[in-house]
Amino acid sequence: MSESSVALGGDHAAIKLVLNLSFVGSVDRELGVRRAWQACHRQYPALGAFVVSSPQGDSGSPARLVSSPFDSEAWDKATFIVCHDQDAIEVCEKMNSAPMPICHWLPASSEVVIRMSHWRVDGMGIFMIGHRFLAHLAEIMRRGPETCCIANYIDHLPILTNPLPPTVESLLQKQEKQEKITPDIERAFERLAKCYAQHSPGIVFPPRHDTCETLPSTNGHATIRLDAATTRQVSAARRANDYSFTAAVHAALIRAMTKCPQKPLVNSYASFYLIDLRKSFSQCASVAAQDNCPIGFYIATPPLYLGGLGLDQRPSINSYDEIARKLSLIYRQGLPNIHTAFGGGPAAF
């Protein structure tokens, strides 16, 4: 993000999903992937929605999201790219901003890279889209991507009743009319925000020395591969210590941060943790009918704080086990019990 109010010429954040595919027999892989991507748009019209700016001179009218009718040829032309002789890392590193979701097919490595802007989909949503994409691909390959019945299969997919799913803001407005937010919940969130503000900035992975003078550019990637035996050992240790999976991974990242040079006197970690709101909204008819809303941003981000990370401070929680234990408690708290830590009873979201 730019703090100088100057446009960066692209998204400040994007989400990418890489699928490594294995095909059986001699099939037209590219056509199958292309058809599966078409099926995703057919089933989820919001996947191809685009932003329409307010009329020139009308500052009071906000930009709005508009969905377009399904057109397989236009969708292919705008969003499907074949990258020969490249793998996913090379494609991700050279990927530029785009107004629409992009599906890259990489025949050399048999990979698919799906990229979307941060405002179109969140982390859980892109996994849901990936799952649906693979389900369509499996069915298309079963029928044969070259057969004439594939177009009929895509045309008869169930389409969401509302092409644009409800936003969190619209759902909350309905909730506020039914039940007002109580003072104890307000105080709980105020304390969380105050705690975060008091301990920020915290430790970070140090940036490159020239990042203050440069704009965001291509990505860098590092890959760690765990074999099956190592994965089983890590999973068994996590369960034995009662760490959540997310907390175990996050603790490893924080532990690595503590080994990097930091600003003097910085001895805390202040950030936010993510909560998927889809289950909280699942009782709303508009959400239940939307297949849990894969398209959209349905993530809440309560603040997260860990103190005593400084090497020169006692007591400190520098060990991996202590960090993972504290993070597990935070992640299990969730929104339904957001102010239990402050001495109150569970508060329903």
Q: Is 73 exposed, middle or buried (0-12, 13-18, 19+ CB in 10 A)?
A: exposed
What tokens appear for 257 in the block?
A: 């941060």
Segment 241-287, tens digit of pLDDT = 999 888 899 999 998 888 888 877 787 888 888 877 777 776 665 55
Cα separation, 330 vs 341, whole angstroms: 9
- The pair phi, psi for residue 133, each rounded to 5°, is -60, -45
Given a cut of 60, whether residue 44 has pLDDT beyond it is: yes
Cα separation, 154 vs 144, whole angstroms: 13
Q: Which of 37, 57, 58, 59 is nearest to 48 (CA)?
A: 37
C-beta neighbour count of 237 within 10 angstroms = 11
- 3-state DSSP assignment of residue 337: coil
Domains of the chain: 14-54+64-155 (3.30.559.10), 168-342 (no CATH)
Q: Residue 16, by phi and psi: left (phi above 0), alpha (psi -120 to 50) or beta?
A: beta
The string of DSSP codes covering 178-230 is HSPPPHHHHHHHHHHHHHHHHT-S---PPPPTTGGGS-------------HHH
Cα separation, 120 vs 265, whole angstroms: 39
pLDDT at 212: 63
Q: Look up the pTM and report it.
A: 0.76
Given a cut of 50, whether residue 348 has pLDDT beyond it is: no
158 vs 348, higher pLDDT? 158
AA letter at 89: I
Cα separation, 141 vs 282, whole angstroms: 33
> What's the gap between Cα 290 and its chain centre?
18
Residues 86-101, mean pLDDT to the nearest whole number: 82
* 107 in Cβ contact with 21 (< 8 Å): no
